[in-house]
Amino acid sequence: MRSLPVFALLALLACKDREQVVVTPPPVEPQRPAWVVSRPVSSLDYIGIGLASKSRADHQETAKKNALNDLASEISVIVEGNSLLYTLDRRSSFDESFSSTIRTRTTEQLEGFELVDTWENANEYWVYYRLSKARHAQIKAERKARAIGIATDLLTRSRASLQGGDLKGAFDQGLRGLIAMKEHWGENDLVDVGGKQVPLVNELYSDLQKLTAGVQFAVLPERCVLDHGNGYKRELLITATYAANGRALDLVQLPVSIVYPGISGKVTELKTTDTEGRLRTTVQRVAREPGKAPEVVVRLNMDELVSKEQDPVLTKGVVASLTVPEKHIPIDLVMPKVFISATETNLGQPIGDAGLAQVVREEFTARGLRFVDRERDADLLLDLSSSTRQGGESNGFFTAHLDMSLTFRDRRTREVLHEGGRQGVKGVQLNYEKAGLDAYKKAAQDLRKDIVPAMIDGIF
């Protein structure tokens, strides 16, 4: 009976020995093709190899893009001396964003390439492109011929537009012609324009330089005098011309900016000349600038001169290198003369220099206004009256109330520019006299903060 369990155990072990153990071998990676292992070299083709990790959802598109970038990088670009790109690079007009844009355009415009092969394993995806050097040269020559045709036509149109006084149209056409040749800015080929051999890209850029630098502004009057007599407003007549072939062309529909310091901040007006090359603007509410004489700056508005359709990255470096004409017109801001008539008392007694009239003098003087001793010499009159009255006593503290009124008017017309005051301004101190002075101090704060700025605003 004891031998049965041993027999059963031996039988069980015998069955297990007959079971087959299945071992899964590791996956075998596909053999890498030669072009993945070692980059191909060809004297007949440009090569582009691209790799992307398959952990990316867009790994196929990424590998293709990388392959095309690689292909584009194989196409060497030699920047010729005296070419536009050479000139602008020396002037540091083009930044890295421009260079990046040019590279992107080159990649986007690749034509004639073919897919040679793709390869992938569990982690990688590879793409192999090639482009015949002969085919590329042919495509480039055809594209260049088309660009030259477009640019030459735009150059001719630009010069015709300028003769009609349309500098804005001339600039737009010239800039479009330059952009049409953007792939060839590093070259310096001679092209026939009007029977004359010229380097087309440089000729287009030179015309743009002449267009902006040749603009001249004339302004009447030559000095902008603002005083009380003209209400601190002055109209300016601005004329825009361009010297061509010994005569001055009136520039029509020319965008112009007018800038000057205003009371509420810098004033910028954007205007356009009329059919006679003129425009009018009114300068008003001008602010005094500490340590600097105010002026009006009339400037060619380059933002409006460049079409919004043009690629800002491509045009930025070109426009930044151009001369932008401007005209400076001095502003003679003649501040008004003021006569003050003040009656001020504290509890029935004259207050003298501790009153509000002194505060007005300080604030007006800081803003450039002048004071006179006779009414007939003044431009503006200020009538000011203030007085205090007892308000009562509580727990040893005395209260006084101040009432103030003022009228600010033009001496000649008697027009009221500002009228107002304060009633019941409270002062608290240890006696009535000091409480009255405290009320004057609080009223002075209102003068500086609110009333004087309102009076100044009434002047301008």
Domain spans, the chain? 35-133, 136-213, 215-300+328-333, 337-459
Q: What is the pLDDT of residues 182-240, one digit of tens each?
A: 888 888 888 888 888 999 999 999 999 999 999 999 999 999 999 999 999 999 999 99
Residue ranges of E strands in 411-456: 416-429
* 425, two tokens: 């301004």
Q: Give burial (CB, 10 Å; 0-12/13-18/19+) of 60.
A: middle
* 18, two tokens: 């007959």
Q: Which CATH architecture has domain 35-133?
A: Roll (3.10)
47 against 99, higher pLDDT = 47
341 alpha-carbon distance from chain centroid: 50
Could you tell me the pTM of the whole model?
A: 0.73
Distances (CA, A) of 171 to 158, 213, 216, 289: 7, 12, 16, 36
Distance CA 369, CA 375 (A): 15
- Quick one: pLDDT at residue 410? 95
- State the average pLDDT for the chain: 89
23 against 225, higher pLDDT = 225
Nearest by Cα to 448 from 428, 427, 422, 411 = 422
- Quick one: pLDDT at residue 2? 47
Q: What is the pLDDT of residues 116-129, one digit of tens each?
A: 999 999 999 999 99
* Percent of the chain surpassing pLDDT 70: 88
Q: What is the pLDDT of residues 238-279, one digit of tens each?
A: 999 998 777 889 999 999 999 999 988 999 999 999 999 999
Task: Give helix 96-108 / helix 59-74 axis angle, nearest 10°.
Answer: 100
Give the position of tokens 């793709």: 118
Give the amino acid at 38: S
- Quick one: pLDDT at residue 107? 55
- Quick one: pLDDT at residue 186? 83
Distance CA 65, CA 48 (A): 10
* CATH tag, 215-300+328-333: 2.60.40
* 13, two tokens: 């072990």
- Quick one: pLDDT at residue 1? 44
Give the position of tokens 């007892």: 390
- Quick one: pLDDT at residue 445? 94
- Its CATH class, for the domain covering 337-459, is alpha beta
DSSP-assigned letter for residue 448? I
Q: Give burial (CB, 10 Å; 0-12/13-18/19+) of 243.
A: exposed
pLDDT band at 385 (very low <50, low <70, confident <90, very high): very high
Distance CA 455, CA 383 (A): 12
Backbone dihedral angles phi then psi of residue 57, each to the nearest 5 degrees = -65, -30
Rg (CA), the chain: 41
Give the position of tokens 């205007």: 271
* 49, two tokens: 């190899």
Q: Give burial (CB, 10 Å; 0-12/13-18/19+) of 36.
A: middle
